[in-house]
Amino acid sequence: MLKHEILSSITNTKVVAVIRGNSAEEAVELSKAAIEGGIRAIELTYTTPQVQKAFEALYGADVLLGAGSVLDAETARHAILAGAKFIVSPHFEETIAPVCNRYGIPYLPGCMTIRDMVKAMEAGCDIIKLFPANNFTPSFIKSVNGPLPQVRVMPTGGVNLDNIGEWLAAGAVAAGIGSDLNKAYTAGGYNAAVELTKEYVQKSNQ
């Protein structure tokens, strides 16, 4: 896929499932539940032990696979070679951007300040991850888009069923969800994660 096609896939799907497994096997199960529930973009985090096994197990699935919790350029390259189509960090790391640009892969860095957002855009980042989003309200996007109308924001961290609609209505191009899926899976297993995902997909399309 070309970079603009990957970006379009993220913005069209609106919901990115952030998968943090206690093992690669759990990450695969959570991912499959999210896919069955209608999610079309998944971020496999590098906090998951042996996460490459999860990439291998999900290769060929009908989903856009990305990598999260990427802290440095070496990890970014590893993820891209493992099949990641987009790279996500909790912060903006200058050394990651050139690697992603070299391979034509979108880099979505976590930013909280205008300064970080501008630096990220100057490095070629097309979507900014607002993280952690629970420190903000959806109106923050409008405030940012005043001086920076070209910034496209994806809130992550603190997004839930009650506020995802507000974030999208406020101008978020997509939203990252994660902890809710883990909680549903822990409490009710695979089927519970599937049903919760369906609710998120439904909310995002209202």
- The catalytic residue among 43, 85, 93, 203 is 43
74 noted as active-site residue: no
Strands 175-177, 15-19: pairing kind: parallel
Distance (Å, rounded) from C-alpha 33 to C-alpha 75?
A: 26
Q: What is the CA radius of gyration of the chain?
A: 16
Instruction: Provide the number of structural domains found in the chain.
Output: 1
Q: How far is CA 150 from each of CA 52, 124, 127, rounded to the nearest angstrom?
A: 34, 12, 10
Of 68, 79, 48, the C-alpha closest to 157 is: 68
**pTM of structure:** 0.97
The predicted structure's pLDDT at residue 79: 98
The predicted structure's pLDDT at residue 206: 83
CATH number reported for the structural domain that contains residue 40 in this entry: 3.20.20.70
Distance (Å, rounded) from C-alpha 107 to C-alpha 22?
A: 25
3-state SS, residue 175: strand
- Mean pLDDT throughout 55-84? 97
- The catalytic residue among 14, 32, 129, 203 is 129
Q: Which residue has the tokens 């991912």?
A: 31
Does 90 score more than 90 pLDDT?
A: yes
Farthest-apart Cα atoms in the chain, separation: 45
Tell me the pLDDT tens digit for each residue of 111-145: 999 999 999 999 999 999 999 999 999 999 999 99
Residues 95, 72 contacting (CB under 8 angstroms): yes
Distance (Å, rounded) from C-alpha 193 to C-alpha 206?
A: 20
The predicted structure's pLDDT at residue 98: 98
- Mean pLDDT throughout 14-38? 97
- Mean pLDDT throughout 92-97? 98
DSSP structure class, residue 87 = E
129 noted as active-site residue: yes
Range of the domain at 127: 3-205
